């Protein structure tokens, strides 16, 4: 589904970028990774929602390093 009609970006495009960038935290950063910029801003809420849906990094199985 097209999320951003100004840049013709789909939810699939956004999810692809979000899944590879743990440090991404804003719509502007997501658009930067996709090589474009926010124009009218109507899609910003949808992009933020996709960012919030991103699963938290699972640290339950991180190794415990003993000195
Ligand atoms: S719909 Fe995304 S910037 Fe306009």
Give the domain ranges of the chain. 2-53
**Dist CA 6 CA 8 (whole Å):** 6
Phi, psi of 26, rounded to the nearest 5 degrees: -140, 160
Q: What is the pTM (predicted TM-score) of this model? A: 0.76
Question: Which residue out of 9, 26, 43 has the highest number of ligand 1 atoms within 8 Å of its CB and is therefore the one to mutate?
Answer: 43
Q: What is the pLDDT of residue 58?
A: 47
Contact present, 22 and 55 (Cβ < 8 Å):
no
**Dist CA 59 CA 36 (whole Å):** 33
- Closest ligand 1 atom to residue 40 Cα is 4
Could you tell me which residue, 57 or 34, shows the higher pLDDT?
34
**What are the contacts of 13-18 at 24+ separation with CB within 8 A?**
14/47, 14/50, 15/50, 18/50, 18/51, 18/54
Class of the CATH-defined domain 2-53? mainly alpha
Give pLDDT tens digits for 6-35: 999 999 999 999 888 778 778 889 999 999
């Amino acid at each position: 589904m097209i999320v951003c009609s100004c840049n013709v970006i789909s939810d699939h495009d956004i999810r692809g970028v979000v899944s590879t960038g743990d440090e991404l935290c804003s719509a502007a950063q997501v658009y930067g990774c996709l090589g474009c910029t926010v124009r009218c801003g109507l899609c910003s809420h949808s992009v933020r929602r996709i960012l919030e849906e991103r699963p938290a990094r699972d640290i339950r199985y991180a190794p415990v390093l003993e000195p």
